[in-house]
Amino acid sequence: MEDIQTKICSAFLDVTFSSPQANLDFDEYLLELSNPSRILRIWESKEYFVVMGRNSDESDLNLPAIEAVKIPVLRRKSGGGTVLQGPGCLNYTFVSDLFPQVGSVKGAFEWVLSRLRMVVKEVLGMETEVKGSSDLCLGNRKFSGNAQRRRGNRFYVHGTILYDFDLSLMDRFLFLPKTRPDYRKDRSNQNFLINIANLKEKKGNFVRAMAFYFLEKR
């Protein structure tokens, strides 16, 4: 009998682990899979933790404040900067075989973020913009940061969507990063970032729309 797995071309996963490290490791596990060809994962940590990009250093971290409350500091294998994770921050990971529109790093960000913009527009009625290399913004304030990793003929883009996050914690635990997009200027984290406030009530619809635009719409 033909292996049923060969018939599966995409998968939606709503999977959050209790361990912050396990959540990062699971993205790497999904990247190693050869089947399904496309995967969308949604998750949200109940625990605060700091995660640094592949090439980030500790200059962004307020280590005394972090160590005082024993927040884990981890490193992911994708690029991008240092972020604080926790409740009120919805995470997504889109994993796929390479296809023509995502042949370049820039093309992959454009394809993924265009889909995410469609979801925000359809479910929340909001117009958003891509700024910097891979930020999604409402006006001039960022609500979604995104990063990418490639391995062989597979890649993922994963990112954050702020909707009910305590933004004051960003300035408590993170310093202003040395490398900043021009549009940010010298704004503090709290003045630079923004929650999509009405996402909280529509999160189920939002996630379902993401599954459609990332896994079904061509």
pLDDT of 165-199, one tens digit each? 999 999 999 999 988 999 999 999 999 999 998 99
Q: Is residue 8 scored above 70 in pLDDT?
A: no
Instruction: Tell me if the pTM is above 0.75.
Output: yes
Sign of CA dihedral 77, 81, 84, 88: negative
Q: In terms of Cα–Cα distance, which of 143, 134, 131 is closest to 185?
A: 131
Q: Say which residue, 2 or 76, is predicted with more confidence.
A: 76
pLDDT for the residue 7: 45
How many domains, the chain?
Answer: 1
Q: What is the mean pLDDT of the chain?
A: 94
pLDDT for the residue 4: 38
Domain residues for the domain of 114 are 4-215
Query: What is the C-alpha radius of gyration for the chain, rounded to an integer number of angstroms?
Result: 17
Place of tokens 């296809």: 99
Spatial distance between the Cα atoms of 195 and 87, rounded to a whole number of angstroms? 12
What average pLDDT does range 46-52 have in this prediction?
98
Q: Which amino acid is at 152?
A: G
pLDDT for the residue 193: 98
pLDDT in tens, 121-167: 999 999 999 999 999 999 999 999 999 999 999 999 999 999 999 99
Place of tokens 């969308």: 40
pLDDT for the residue 6: 37
CATH number, domain containing residue 148: 3.30.930.10
Q: Confidence band (pLDDT; 50, 70, 90) for 34?
A: confident
Q: In terms of Cα–Cα distance, which of 121, 117, 115 is closest to 129?
A: 117
Q: Is residue 2 scored above 80 in pLDDT?
A: no
Q: Confidence band (pLDDT; 50, 70, 90) for 215?
A: very high
Q: Say which residue, 47 or 4, is predicted with more confidence.
A: 47
Within 8 A by CB and 6+ apart from 120, the residues are: 126, 128, 136, 196
